[in-house]
Structure 1
Amino acid sequence: MLKKQLYLFLILFSFGVLAIHSQEVTDTLKIKNKFGSISKEFKPLAPATAAFYSAVLPGLGQAYNKKYWKIPIIYAALGSGIYFYSDNNTNYKRARNAYKLSIDGKPHEFDGTNGNILLSDDALVRAQKSYKKDRDLSLLVTVGLYLLQVVEASTNAHLLQHNVDDALSVKPQLIKDTATNKTIVGASINFKF
């Protein structure tokens, strides 16, 4: 009885090992066009990979999609957002410190002495509110731009896999009407087999 179980186990184990060894794992699918013999490589995880790369390092997803020209635009947009956040935060802190010193009756940079400009306590409160609002808006815009570049990398990777060859095209045309001798604008959708 023990021998039969051992033989059965060895047979099942060897089939399992052979089945596992015979399978080839690929991360791409090749799809043939039914209208021609053109084959295109389809990577189902390309959009997720591009989004992950862009989330880790801004612009890396665009590099993965081979759209290198977008990287400077991304860094300029994110750098501008960070610059405006930092500038507004610095001015907010200056107005806040001046207001605190003014309440305590101590000299500050907006007290009107030694060539400094004179701002009232009410003006310092308004400046704090304005700079805080602008700082928060800068942060929101920067985070939005960061998320936008992640979504753009994913969308671009997805759209790169679509069939956009000449067999399917839309061409605008100008047609001359012979009866009225006027030009008519039209569009045609062409399918070539």
Structure 2
Amino acid sequence: MGNKIIIVLCLVFFTCQLSWAQEKKEEETQAPKEEKATEAAKKEESVLKVENATIVEEKKVLDPLSPSKAAFYSAILPGLGQAYNKKYWKIPIVYAAMGTGIYFYVTNNKNYNRYRRAYKRRLAGFTDDEFQNIVDSNDALIDAQEFYQRNRDLSLLLTVVAYVLNIVDANVDAHLLQFNVSDDLSLRPHIDQNQIDFNRNLGLTLNFKF
């Protein structure tokens, strides 16, 4: 009877030892997994922090004074604001518009002064001006003066308008460069075929995600 009790106790002891060893092995196996999961979570969190920091940094890049700077640069030198906005293709347009206005201003002003001098010489009693064989009357000289004076003033006005538009364009462009359009808002063309008369219906589809 005593031997049976000893055998039973030994079996219980060995069973407990095996269970304890198994639990210890599972704990040792589980520990690295938990450490790896913790490290992965930390890495993912650090990546999210970096991405969020990058987004914040990109938002901070926007300069609220950029439109004013672009307008100021274009006011100092036409086309410089367009270069500041990196819209280099607009610079030739600016100079073509202003150059055309200046060219016609100079040409009309030159012709105006020619007829003006001839008119003054005829009033002084001279008849040796450059238009002596072309324009007979003083009234014709006056009409020519008024014509070129009107065109000269119009050319000056167009040049000033081109200069102002150059400043406005630089300012508006700088504003648009900082305008953020969300990807959650989209507008797309929509073509649908009528199932009754098979005519095509055109429309626009507005998608908004929230």
TM range (shorter): 0.7 to 0.9
Please state which structure has a larger fraction of its residues in strand. 1
Task: Provide Cα deviations, 1:103-154, integer angstroms capped at 9, x if missing partner.
Answer: 1221100111xxxx23421110001011111111111110111001000000
C-alpha separation in 2, matches of 1:76 and 1:120 = 39
Aligned counterpart in structure 2 of residue 150 of structure 1, from 167, 180, 201: 167
Amino acid at match of 1:111: Q
Aligned-pair identity (%): 55
Q: Which residue of 2 aligns with 1:98?
A: 118
Equivalent residues of 2:190, 2:203 under 8 A apart? yes
Amino acid at match of 1:144: V
Task: Provide Cα deviations, 1:67-105, integer angstroms capped at 9, x if missing partner.
Answer: 000001101111111100000000000000011111122
C-alpha separation in 2, matches of 1:165 and 1:91 = 57
C-alpha separation in 2, matches of 1:72 and 1:101 = 43
Equivalent residues of 2:135, 2:141 under 8 A apart? no
C-alpha separation in 1, matches of 2:206 and 2:70 = 32
Give the superposition deviation at 1:165.
5.4
C-alpha separation in 1, matches of 2:140 and 2:75 = 41
Q: Which residue of 1 aligns with 2:93?
A: 73
Gaps of 5+ in 2: 1-51
Q: How big is the alpha-carbon RMSD for the aligned residues of Structure 1 and Structure 2? A: 1.7
Q: Which residue of 2 aligns with 1:171?
A: 188
User: What are the residue-to-residue correspondences of 1:45-124 with 2, within 5 Å?
Assistant: 45-106=65-126, 107-112=128-133, 117-124=134-141
Amino acid at match of 2:144: A
Task: Provide Cα deviations, 1:29-49, integer angstroms capped at 9, x if missing partner.
Answer: xxx8xxxx6844321001000
Q: Which residue of 2 aligns with 1:130?
A: 147
C-alpha separation in 1, matches of 2:194 and 2:74 = 52
Amino acid at match of 2:72: F
C-alpha separation in 2, matches of 1:69 and 1:157 = 15
| Rg (Cα) greater in structure | 2
C-alpha separation in 2, matches of 1:191 and 1:42 = 25
Amino acid at match of 1:78: M
C-alpha separation in 2, matches of 1:151 and 1:42 = 20
Give the superposition deviation at 1:166.
4.1
Give the superposition deviation at 1:191.
2.5
Gaps of 5+ in 1: 1-31
C-alpha separation in 2, matches of 1:110 and 1:124 = 9
Please state which structure has a larger fraction of its residues in helix. 2
C-alpha separation in 2, matches of 1:168 and 1:189 = 8
